Structure 1
Amino acid sequence: MSNHSRQGVAEGGNAPLRRRGDRVDARLPGIPISDRRHVFSLLQHIADRADYGQDLDILLTQLSPSTLDTLRQASVTDLSRLAEQRPAFVSVCVDEQMMHLAMNRLQLVTKREEDALWFIKRGAPAAAMLELFGMHELEYRRLRLAASVETKRGRSPKLDNQTHHEVIRYWYRNRDHSDPIGRFKTLGEAFPDASFSALWAAIRGGANA
């Protein structure tokens, strides 16, 4: 019978990583999985997909229709007991090239999030966050709230003439910086006592390259 109510995980506490009878089976492609909790989760995933008719074309490349039907109709208890059987009969394959692409992408996303938070904490105006990060007003306000950045009323203080000229000179000295986020961050670090809104106004207000 169909088992749409299949849920939960196998009981039994923390199982050891290896048990008597466990061995690395060269028959299996990829990395053999022997921990019954993980095997149970994978069996349940396959059974659920078969039960709902999802990804059948993929499932049928690995399992026969009769095996899928057996898993689909199995109870949670049956799947849990099946997961305990040895030797291992489940393995995973890793596309290392795609995994490295995902890892690199995650590093870029993390770095961008860290940079955005740095600018928010320095009091960057909404216009700066929109230009540098494509961040719209709602997300801008949410991040400021999360970072406990106080909203100050009125116009941002301007730089005095000497600091203004120093900022412009520093900005031009770093014109070869290809990353605008990095260039503005370097500027902010070089003038830690200046309001970032004032720094932004000095650069963008004068339409400096």
Structure 2
Amino acid sequence: MDKKFPNRIREIRKDQGLTIEDLAERTGLSVSYVGRLENGERNLSVKHLSLFADALSVTSQDLLVQTESSARNIVSVMGRIGAGAEILPDEEQIPPEGLYEIETPFPLPDDAIAFEVHGESMWPRYDDGDIIICWRQGIVAEEVLGWEAAVKTASGNRYLKRVLRGAETGTYDLESHNAPPIRGVRLEWVAAIQSVIRSGQWRKLTPAARQRLVQRMTGSK
């Protein structure tokens, strides 16, 4: 059975009285390709997520399918990042549940993970304390060419970088603000940036605060 990637593009398009031809014209994509995205036959990459959000005048989060069972305002922070610096700590030092959990201003699916920007080296793109949201399940690097993504190289290094095609087939160049580029690496894992939560819009959860939040979300006492 073919894998499906559900989204709300068709629902929002119809609510706005647009035809699929209208949406294709707004996005600059072919009608057949828009149809495949609407049907969930293609993954909605971060590039297309932003493209359709702008075309439909909604947020990227509005395009994602959320269910009562999977949506939550809690996400695990799996490491800290800076420009040119690896995502820290080492993967082997991170417990399965992450370093800590935070409360987010909007619901996220169960497979969401987060990284916290540390220091000022990511300016002007990100500020100290910003949270980068990705999906735990990796995607194909070709889907984020020209865009920033969390990546793990074949040598085990992990970065938040802009991904570009390398000089040799199967390799990629990694670039970021305030750091020299990394050329010709092979990637083992790539996760698109799905959203950014600015510093001050999230809070670290204690066990007691987490329990209260879960009770509030589920309506239990």
Same-fold status (TM-score > 0.5): no
- Structure with more strand by fraction: 2
* Structure having the higher Rg: 1
- Structure with more helix by fraction: 1
